[in-house]
Amino acid sequence: MSQSTAPRADRPRTLLLRGGEVHSPADPFATAMVVEGDRIAWIGSEGAADSFADGVDETVELDGALVTPAFTDAHVHTTATGLALTGLDLAGARTLADALARIRAHAAARPADRVLLGTGWDAGGWPEQRHPTRAELDEATGGRPLYLTRVDVHSALASTAMLDLVPGLAGRAGYAHDAPLTGDAHHAVRAAAYASLGPAQRAEAQRAALAHAASLGIGSVHECAGPEISSEDDFTGLLALAASEPGPRVHGYWAELVTSAKDAARVTALGALGAAGDLFADGSLGSRTAHLCAPYADAPHTAGTAHLDADAVAAHVAACTEAGIQAGFHAIGDAAIEAVTTGVRRAAERVGPDRVRAARHRVEHAEMLTGRTVADFADLALTASVQPGFDAAWGGADGMYARRLGAERARTLNPYAALLRAGVPLALGSDSPVVPLGPWEAVRAAAFHHTPEHRISVRGAFTAHTRGGWRALGQDDAGVLAPGAPADYALWRTGALVVQAPDTRVANWSTDPRSGTPGLPDLTPGGQLPVCLRTVVGGQTVYARPNE
């Protein structure tokens, strides 16, 4: 696929890619690209590429492959993703009995693990319509400690031996005998479970997650860590590993409340870009802990849990803004999102709206938006860090959203088109391991949303999953193939390139050559998704598909 010559020592290594399709706003008809060191130097036509051929160190014949910017996944839990990849993942379990059998097999295969870790169960999809009892977990594990998170990671099951590792657990909020743990009780058990991981086991999981991301064309991830999710050692260890080994870039957020310059300095000393990510304003819909303005349809006695009010949000955003770092929140329910936008507005009144807007604060998930909160996002320049895989997994008339909220409220969730129309910056991600890493799956889910009025074009979703992730970091010159941009890109084997948009008038115009709209793979549901052939980060190959 490539031809090389020895590079000269007095200049960066140069690479010419030619004979493919280069997805670039710089030239919508480009077929070739030159990379110089860690930057893109030129993009253009096949004929013009001839003038570079003799002066580069290596030429890659693309053979029709598509070249795109590498994806950025704007919300990942790297260690937990790696543990799901290398350990017990019940996402594929179809029945309660199947889940218990998988737990038994995992326990037998990991005799040396101090604590067994697993994720991905969802009793709503099982014919038994119930989760395992503690007695069943004790039997399946042979009496060993087991921490087993629900698919949304906002509640968990634990064996008796696991619960016994946390003194005073029964007195914590969120504890109920033989029911999933939530709130403080869940956080305490999670901390005990992850404390059992040694440095080698943790690094193994992180490497597995990053290698898997690279194999999917992901060049950057936003690690959403925090004291209620992981540990400082886990966070700093991941950043150090990513900095020292080839692989996707890792941009870290640490979800801890900040009320002073001293607090902000502590967050940045960890290597975090901001006190953001999963700073919980509420929980999740699946666990019925997302904070709603009206009770759940299938649990009319509860409207979820509020972890932060508008005053706490305002104090955090004001302190972060003054310290020059990003603030951010996990907010899913409509009441939680309203608390966040109200708090950010109060912070803007305190420190100045222009300063708040310039900081590019962010909100993770942002599922239950209203017309008013969408307008608030736009006015306050809040980035919506969203996960289209949630709608793919839980949307539709028979999905979890409809069961929890009723059909009418469920149809309002994840309104991507309304956000883009209002000018709200979108950054796409997975929240892995809640939803598996899969950038093309996410782009497809946004373009073919269960609710037609929320659909956006493939191009809009793709931009949000590439350039959008970089813009969410405050960097506007990356996530795109253009001269001067970082050489973070991926090569794909795919079918014919098309333009897909919810409005056929837009799609028809976009396919006219006069529009200059570059095509992307056909993501119609049921069709084959692109196959990643190579992922390059900073000019360095971090994944190459075998035998390609």
Q: In this structure, are residues 459 and 517 in contact, taking their beta carbons and an 8 Å threshold?
A: yes
pLDDT value for 25: 87
9 within a domain of the structure (yes/no): no
237 within a domain of the structure (yes/no): no
CATH code, domain with 415: 3.20.20.140
Helix (H) or strand (E) holding 134: helix 134-141
Q: In this structure, are residues 442 and 389 in contact, taking their beta carbons and an 8 Å threshold?
A: yes
Tens of each residue's pLDDT in the chain, 548 residues: 656 555 555 679 999 999 999 999 889 899 999 999 999 999 999 889 998 888 899 999 999 999 999 999 999 999 999 988 988 989 889 999 999 999 999 999 999 888 999 998 999 889 999 999 999 999 999 999 999 999 888 889 999 999 999 999 999 999 988 889 998 999 899 889 888 888 888 999 999 999 999 999 999 999 999 998 889 999 999 999 999 999 999 999 999 999 999 999 999 999 999 999 999 999 999 999 999 999 999 999 999 999 999 999 999 999 999 999 999 999 999 999 999 999 999 999 999 999 999 999 999 999 999 999 999 999 999 999 999 999 999 999 999 999 999 999 999 999 999 999 999 999 999 999 999 999 999 999 999 999 999 999 999 999 999 999 999 999 999 999 999 999 999 999 999 999 998 876 555 545 555 566 789 999 999 999 999 999 999 999 999 999 87
107 within a domain of the structure (yes/no): yes
The residue from 196, 223, 239 where one domain ends is: 196
Can you spell out the DSSP letters for 223-278? EEE-TTTS-HHHHHHHHHHHHHSSS-EEEEEE-----SHHHHHHHHHTT-SEE-SS
pLDDT value for 512: 53
Q: What is d(CA 388, CA 521) in angstroms, rounded to the nearest whole number?
A: 18
Q: How many domains does the chain have?
A: 3
The residue from 173, 196, 219 where one domain ends is: 196
In this structure, the answer to whether residues 466 and 488 fall within a common structural domain is no
CATH code, domain with 21: 2.30.40.10
In this structure, the answer to whether residues 322 and 413 fall within a common structural domain is yes
In this structure, the answer to whether residues 60 and 115 fall within a common structural domain is no
| 330 Cα distance to chain centroid | 12
In this structure, the answer to whether residues 310 and 450 fall within a common structural domain is yes
In this structure, the answer to whether residues 144 and 273 fall within a common structural domain is no
pLDDT value for 501: 87
226 within a domain of the structure (yes/no): no
Burial class, 542, CB count within 10 angstroms (exposed 0-12 / middle 13-18 / buried 19+): buried
In this structure, the answer to whether residues 105 and 65 fall within a common structural domain is no
In this structure, the answer to whether residues 25 and 149 fall within a common structural domain is no
Which tokens belong to 415? Answer: 């309104």
Q: For residue 487, which of 534, 429, 546 has the smallest C-alpha distance? A: 534
In this structure, the answer to whether residues 180 and 268 fall within a common structural domain is no
Q: In this structure, are residues 267 and 258 in contact, taking their beta carbons and an 8 Å threshold?
A: yes
The CA angle 406-362-89, to the nearest 5 degrees, is 60
207 within a domain of the structure (yes/no): no
Q: What is d(CA 186, CA 184) in angstroms, rounded to the nearest whole number?
A: 5
pTM: 0.90
Can you spell out the DSSP letters for 192-217? HHHHT--HHHHHHHHHHHHHHHHHTT
The residue from 196, 217, 234 where one domain ends is: 196
In this structure, the answer to whether residues 282 and 366 fall within a common structural domain is yes
Q: For residue 481, which of 13, 75, 76, 20 has the smallest C-alpha distance? A: 20
In this structure, the answer to whether residues 191 and 312 fall within a common structural domain is no
103 within a domain of the structure (yes/no): yes
Give residues with Cβ within 8 angstroms of 92, minimum separation 6. Answer: 120
346 within a domain of the structure (yes/no): yes
Q: What is d(CA 208, CA 276) in angstroms, rounded to the nearest whole number?
A: 25
In this structure, the answer to whether residues 465 and 489 fall within a common structural domain is no
Taking every pair of C-alpha atoms in the chain, what is the biggest distance, in angstroms? 73
Q: Say which amino acid occupies 68.
A: T
Q: What is d(CA 410, CA 486) in angstroms, rounded to the nearest whole number?
A: 40
214 within a domain of the structure (yes/no): no
In this structure, the answer to whether residues 352 and 408 fall within a common structural domain is yes
Give residues with Cβ within 8 angstroms of 465, minimum separation 6. Answer: 71, 72, 73, 427, 428, 429, 439, 442, 443
Look at residue 467 and give its three-state secondary structure.
helix
Domain boundaries, position 55: 14-70+482-494+530-544
